[in-house]
Amino acid sequence: MRILVTGAAGFLGSHLSRYLLGKGHSVIGIDNFITGSIDNIQDLFKSQKFEFTKYDVTNYLHVPGKLDAVLHFASPASPIDYLKFPIPTLKVGALGTHKALGLAKEKKAIFMIASTSEVYGDPLINPQHEGYWGNVNPIGPRGVYDEAKRYAEALTMAYHRYHGMQVRLLRIFNTYGPNMRLKDGRAVPNFMTQALKGKPITVYGDGSQTRSLCYVSDLIDGIYRLLISKENGPVNIGNPHEVSLLELAESVKRLTGSKSKIVFRPLPEDDPKVRRPDITKAKKILKWQPRIGLEEGLKKTIAYYKPRV
């Protein structure tokens, strides 16, 4: 296939582009580097099947030649990013999705939207299944990301229903691994950089809020399985193993051999108290489930961060 990946220089976009090239596909990458990095894709330029353009996907989007799939992964994705870039976050979810859908429609290509577990907000049920409508504050500081993704889902399903397009609606749960920025702001990179530097490890609230962490290679495998499936509705991809943030901080401290102290800070506004995917649908339709345990994944990620801290 010839596949367009928006956000190709980001954490997930770079891993996805590399995986697709490894499967023998041709990849056209687009990124404006608002949060992505050329370092993440430097090795891909060796491949004759990889093309890249620095571009903002909220503008008119044209790609010459045939396309078999458009994978829309462009967006700031961590709280510090979408608090720093609130309007670009809304624009890439709304205008960017609209432009990418228009291109996929023109090329008669499959369209995949990289949505998020954040569409469930601060959930009132645990685990979260695809039929749950969520509990989102549309005007809170996280609303720029949550509502951008909810709108992107609505627009994607409208194109599916009205134009008969093949779409893939991917709801990504917390993911970690190499290529995550040291200053990404999410729990794993925060804890690791603090632990490796011997600085206090900051846990927000009392640390009892939970996350379910999926190692990036497992997630990418699930994404590819969804792409080549026939499923047009939303599918959760994530690891259902749930840990508290305090437990995660303690694990990182132990695995790095750090002498850092764990300190507590006030919980940010609208921070989800629980996050755990129900992956029944992914198991049934995609025959997918994660294989890498938390400890193994954390060790791999620490090995990536150590020389970079």
Residues involved in catalysis: 145
Are the beta carbons of 263 and 203 closer than 8 angstroms?
yes
Question: What is the rounded CA–CA span in Å between residue 132 and residue 113?
Answer: 18
Contact partners, residue 75, CB within 8 Å, separation at least 6: 7, 89, 92, 93, 96, 114, 145, 148, 149
User: Could you give the CA distance from residue 140 to residue 262 in angstroms, rounded to a whole number?
Assistant: 28
Longest dimension (CA), the chain: 58
Query: By C-alpha distance, which of 27, 30, 91 is closest to 61?
Result: 30
Q: How far is CA 50 from CA 3, 28, 75, 291, in A?
A: 10, 6, 21, 29
Closest among 125, 129, 132, 91 to 235, alpha carbons compared: 129
Tokens at 211, concatenated: 């996350």
Residue 74 CA to residue 34 CA, distance in Å, equals 10
- DSSP-derived secondary structure letter, 57: T
**121 beta partners:** 135
